[in-house]
């Protein structure tokens, strides 16, 4: 994958580049070196039985935000894949919007570590996610 081209098209708002983001109705807010910010509306179909947003969807958005922050730091011969993900749920959410702000913590030779804080529309912390990705060298 040509990450710089993909990220540039994503910045322009082009749809169809990432079917998963489209499916969840996740939109890019900001993207810069080592940083990514995504927004997602809390929709009724995202709520679980207790009428709180299903946590896996929150973590999925955070995973995508972290991956996109990491993509800004990849060399042309590198790809990536998630190998470990840890989430701390801090509060539930029932409506409004979520904002996932991700940063790259450290890039090494074979691993890259990132963090994401997901907040609600009032700025309340909802979930903190840390992830380790493996750097894949293309041949």
In the prediction, which pLDDT does 138 show? 82
Torsion region of 24: left, alpha or beta (phi above 0 gives left; psi -120 to 50 gives alpha): alpha
Contact 55, 127 (CB under 8 A): yes
pLDDT along the chain (139 residues), means of 10: 91 92 94 97 96 97 98 94 97 97 97 98 97 92
pLDDT of residue 110: 96
Q: Which two tokens stand for residue 115?
A: 């963090």
**What CATH number has the domain bearing residue 80?**
3.10.129.10
Asked if residues 128 and 55 have their Cβ atoms less than 8 Å apart, the reply is: no
The range of the structural domain enclosing residue 9 comes to 3-137
pLDDT at site 21? 94
Contact (CB, 8 A) for 36 and 69: yes
pTM listed for this prediction: 0.95
**Structural domain count of the chain:** 1
Phi/psi at 14 (nearest 5 deg)? Answer: -60, 135
């Amino acid at each position: 994958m040509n990450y710089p081209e993909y990220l540039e098209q994503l910045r322009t708002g082009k749809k169809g580049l990432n079917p998963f983001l489209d499916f969840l109705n996740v939109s890019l807010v900001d993207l810069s070196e080592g940083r990514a910010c995504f927004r997602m509306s809390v929709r009724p179909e995202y709520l679980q039985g207790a009428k709180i947003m299903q946590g896996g969807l929150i973590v999925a958005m955070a995973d995508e935000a972290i991956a996109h922050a990491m993509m800004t730091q990849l060399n042309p011969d590198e790809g990536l894949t998630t190998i470990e993900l840890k989430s701390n749920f801090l509060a539930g959410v029932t409506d409004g919007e979520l904002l996932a702000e991700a940063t790259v913590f450290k890039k090494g030779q074979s691993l890259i570590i990132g963090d994401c804080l997901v907040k609600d529309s009032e700025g309340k912390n909802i979930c903190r996610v840390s992830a380790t990705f493996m750097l894949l060298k293309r041949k």
